[in-house]
Amino acid sequence: DTAVSQTPKYLVTQMGNDKSIKCEQNLGHDTMYWYKQDSKKFLKIMFSYNNKELIINETVPNRFSPKSPDKAHLNLHINSLELGDSAVYFCASSQGSAFNQPQHFGDGTRLSIL
């Protein structure tokens, strides 16, 4: 059983379009995250939700809007896609957001902007 699953795995689209990525976890965790990994493998947090409430919002353009309908799901909607948005986006989850909690990652969504 997949613990953290993301869809789609690949997303190829044109500049200016709007797209969404979905994430679901079946671990019973209450905290979920979105990360962006660039072409050099650098990984940076974008958002974090705890029990559907936004708790971390890094410096991310407001074209990116996360939504958490329940604590098992965290979706990411991106408006007006730009070339620089091309990356791999990872969803993750943890039980709580305490300093010693490990995170469980999905396999990533590779977004390519033409």
Partner 1 sequence: GNSVTQMEGPVTLSEEAFLTINCTYTATGYPSLFWYVQYPGEGLQLLLKATKADDKGSNKGFEATYRKETTSFHLEKGSVQVSDSAVYFCALSDRGGGSNYKLTFGKGTLLTVNP
Q: Which residues of this protein are in contact with partner 1, per CB under 8 A? A: 4, 33, 40-45, 48, 50, 55-56, 90, 92, 97-108
Which residue's CB is nearer to partner 1, number 18 or number 38? 38
Q: How far is the CB of 52 from partner 1 (least distance, A)?
A: 14
Residue 89 three-state SS: strand
What CA–CA distance (Å, rounded) separates 46 from 56? 8
Pick 9 or 14: Cβ nearer partner 1:
9
Would you tell me how many other CB atoms lie within 10 Å of the CB of residue 48? Answer: 23
Least CB distance to partner 1 at residue 74 (A): 14
Give 75 or 109: the residue with its C-beta nearer to partner 1.
109
State in Å, rounded, how far the first CA of the chain is from the last one.
34
Tokens of 61: 């353009």
CB of 34 to partner 1, least distance (A): 11
Return the closest-CA partner of residue 46 out of 27, 25, 23.
23
Which CB atom, from 6 or from 75, has the smaller least distance to partner 1?
Answer: 6
CA dist 19 and 13 (Å) reads 8
C-beta of 28: minimal distance to partner 1 in Å? 17
